[in-house]
Amino acid sequence: MEAYDISIVHVGNIGSLGFAKAYKLENVKNRTYRAKNAAQLGSIAKKPLVFFLDSFELDLPAIREVAKSGGAFAFPASYFSVPGEPPHFVAQKLGMARQFAKLCLKYGARIVLCSLSQNEFQCLSAHELVLFAQLFGIPEQVAKASLKLPKLYFE
């Protein structure tokens, strides 16, 4: 399976995790955009970028606009593993992200799965990211296809 990851730090020996390459986030900043939530994207949603959100609050017009532009929403695994965060808060974030992913799939907005690891111990394998996607109701074939998308946006 051809797969690519996005991380915050350089990850050595990425091939052993099932990835052809890991893109360091700071090196692809011109092809990404970070926002508090989808509602804050505004006109930037019309650009084919990978959008990183701090919250997966639902905003149907933004999801539709990103789908129309050919952009994608990142679903970083590290977003859901904050040390010391109360379990009920993590469950709430997972529920919101699941609904968000459901709308992305319904309206054709692309999803990019990534670890967004901040150290080598947070790196997930390609297989683990596919399993992670299934928490959001993302079918296995869609999850595998989403692991190829970073190459499309960053090369």
Long-range residue pairs from 10-19, CB within 8 A, at least 24 positions apart, any chain: 11/117, 11/120, 11/123, 12/120, 14/123, 17/123, 17/124, 17/125, 17/126, 18/125, 18/126, 18/127, 19/126
- Which domains are present in the chain? 4-154 (3.20.20.140)
Tens-digit pLDDT profile for residues 96-121: 999 999 999 999 999 999 999 888 77
Average pLDDT in the 68-91 region?
88
pLDDT score of 79: 85
